[in-house]
Each structure stands twice: as structure tokens, then as C-alpha cells.
């Protein structure tokens, strides 16, 4: 699997605002230490594991899915709230989980389950003060919803992986914050005070790898599809489109940029993005769909953010 991080950094060390030269520190074994932070992450909930296993079967029955979801009151409530939102505008309130599933469809149901369960997974992690778990959660789910919305309107390779790739695209940053808190703070200092240095370059300076590489490795350990691993690993340097279809890595890159333009970002480690989200969507040839896309995004995001 090819990961598109910059490994050969030739830029001279940058001086920070206090005229202190930032130099690299030894990072032998730091990548492995960050990866070991995976062991500190709780496993997927039994409900999610059972639900995802059921969704993966060739013959799926709504009644079987409903019986699983109804045992998780938060998940069931979110499914009903989403199906009764403006996104699925209907006359009358839907109170049946089974009927709600038939309206949402299996892909949307999988998205909701993943979004809620992943948020639960790292709810009680020990993280440095410089890390905002709330901002991370909101940016992750927003990128996932945006990636999925774009995949429904653009010819994308492996569109069914858009939500998951968007949801987990930044997990490498969290692994650094959990496993290497001191290095994480040093990475932020170099990035925020340095001159013309990217977040990825700062990460290489201090730990010898970038968060996208760590995220891809984590998804590999979780045995997620290779297409999703590669999309997350190459998100900052997307692979070229092929056969008239946008590569999933580029879709993740675009969804990440659009959500940042909307102000839904991880403030301490986000580069500035010029322009409005509408402009970014129009540049994709979706000018006449931009208003509806953002409207649908906001409805779904507001339902999901209530859990975070």
C-alpha cells in the first residue's frame, strides 16, 4: 500500500516567533509508540459489532436490524430523529425503527451506527490539554457526512467507503496526542510558530512519520478495506483520478477542506483555507447543487452533533 506523505524534507529548520531555532529530535521507535496507543482505545461496542456483521451479510432483513438497534436506546433514538428530520421530510412522525431503517437505507444506517459508536470509543481517553476532543469529534463526523454527500453526486471510486474514510481521516492525530503527548505539543509549537512549514513536515521533524500514515496503519489493524486505508493514507497528497472516477483520497481531501471552510475544524492544527464552502463545491462542477448539498449536510450534521 502506497502512502503519500512527504518523507524527504529539505526545508531548513524554521525560527519561531521568539527567535528560537526548532531542530529535530531523535524519533527512533516513536512511530511504534504512537501505534501502541491503539491498545488504549476501547473496542467497538457489542451492538456495533453485531450490527456491522449483520449489514455485511448478503441477505439482510429489516426486522433483524431493528431488533439489534432497539436494544441501544441512543442509537435507536438517533435513527428515528434522523428519519424524522427535514432530510426525509414526510407527513406524520415515524416511531417504528423498522420503518425508519427502510427509509434510511442500509448505507445511511451503517453511517449513523459508525458515527455514534466511534464517538463512544474515545470518549474517556487521557489527552493533553492542547487537544480538543469535542473539536476532533465534530470535524471528523462533519468530514464524513460531507464526503458521503459528495460521493452521492460525483463519480468516485469506492463511494461506499466515503463516510468511513472521512470519519477516521484524522485518527492519526489522536494517536500522536494519546501515545506521544510531549511530542504532540512540540509538533504544534513548530507548526504554529514556524515559517512556511506544514503540519506533516512538523510531524516528520519530531516523530519521523505523519498522522495520515499512522491513521492508515490503524485502519489496517482494524481490518478495514484497503481502499479506505489508502484513501486516508494519501489524503494530503491525493492519488490521480482514473477511468473518469475521482480517487477516494481526493474526495477525503476535498471534504476535509470544505468542512474547514465551514469553520468545523481542529483549530490548533488546521491550515487556513481561502474561500467559502460554496466556492469549493462549485469548483467541483456542482454549482447548481451546492445549496441543496449544504442544506442536506446541515440537517444530518445537526442530528449527529447532538450526540457529540
Interval 208-224: pLDDT, tens: 889 999 999 988 888 88
pLDDT value of position 16:
41
pLDDT value of position 60:
79
HSE-up (13 A, CA, CB side) for residue 292: 8
Residue 60's CB is within 10 A of a number of other CB atoms, namely 14
pLDDT-derived band at 234, boundaries 50, 70, 90: very high
> Residue ranges per domain, the chain?
26-41+125-308, 42-121
CA nearest neighbour of 254 among 230, 287, 279 = 279
* Position with higher pLDDT, 45 vs 8: 45
**Strand, coil or helix: what is 25?**
coil
Q: What is the pTM of this model?
A: 0.83
Measured distance CA(220)–CA(222) in Å, rounded = 5
Q: How large is the angle between the packed helices 199-207 and 181-193, nearest 10 degrees?
A: 140
Interval 259-281: pLDDT, tens: 999 999 886 666 666 678 888 89
Could you say which architecture CATH assigns to the domain 26-41+125-308? Answer: Orthogonal Bundle (1.10)
Question: b vs e for 92-120, b when ≥16 Cβ sit within 10 Å of the residue's Cβ?
Answer: eeeeebeebbbbbeebbbbbbbbbbbbbb
Asked whether the predicted pLDDT for residue 192 surpasses 80, the reply is yes
What phi and psi, each to the nearest 5 degrees, are found at residue 287? -55, -45
Amino acid at each position: 500500500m502506497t502512502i503519500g506523505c512527504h518523507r524527504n524534507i529539505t526545508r531548513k529548520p524554521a525560527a519561531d516567533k521568539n527567535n528560537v531555532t526548532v531542530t529535530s529530535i531523535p524519533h527512533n521507535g516513536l512511530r511504534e509508540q504512537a501505534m501502541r496507543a491503539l491498545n488504549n482505545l476501547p473496542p467497538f461496542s457489542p451492538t456495533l459489532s453485531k450490527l456491522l456483521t449483520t449489514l455485511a451479510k448478503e441477505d439482510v432483513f429489516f426486522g433483524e436490524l431493528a431488533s439489534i438497534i432497539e436494544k441501544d436506546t441512543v442509537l435507536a433514538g438517533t435513527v428515528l430523529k434522523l428519519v424524522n428530520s427535514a432530510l426525509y421530510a414526510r407527513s406524520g412522525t415515524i416511531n417504528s425503527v423498522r420503518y425508519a431503517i427502510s427509509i434510511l437505507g442500509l448505507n445511511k444506517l451503517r453511517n449513523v451506527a459508525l458515527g455514534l459508536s466511534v464517538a463512544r470509543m474515545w470518549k474517556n481517553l487521557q489527552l493533553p490539554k492542547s487537544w480538543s476532543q469535542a473539536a476532533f469529534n465534530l470535524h471528523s463526523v462533519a468530514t464524513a457526512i460531507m464526503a458521503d454527500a459528495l460521493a452521492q453526486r460525483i463519480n468516485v471510486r469506492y463511494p461506499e467507503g466515503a463516510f468511513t474514510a472521512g470519519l477516521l481521516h484524522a485518527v492519526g492525530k489522536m494517536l500522536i496526542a494519546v501515545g506521544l503527548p510531549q511530542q504532540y505539543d512540540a509538533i504544534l509549537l513548530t507548526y504554529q510558530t514556524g515559517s512556511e512549514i506544514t503540519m506533516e513536515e512538523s510531524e516528520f521533524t519530531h516523530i519521523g512519520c505523519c498522522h495520515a500514515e499512522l491513521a492508515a496503519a490503524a485502519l489496517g489493524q482494524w481490518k478495514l478495506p484497503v481502499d479506505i486505508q489508502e484513501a486516508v493514507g494519501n489524503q494530503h497528497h491525493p492519488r490521480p483520478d482514473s477511468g473518469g472516477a475521482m480517487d477516494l483520497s481526493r474526495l477525503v481531501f476535498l471534504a476535509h477542506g470544505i468542512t474547514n471552510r465551514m469553520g468545523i475544524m481542529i483549530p490548533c492544527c488546521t491550515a487556513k483555507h481561502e474561500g467559502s464552502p460554496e466556492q469549493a463545491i462549485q469548483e467541483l462542477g456542482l454549482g447548481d447543487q451546492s445549496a441543496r448539498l449544504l442544506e442536506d449536510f446541515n440537517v444530518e450534521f445537526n442530528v449527529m452533533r447532538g450526540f457529540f
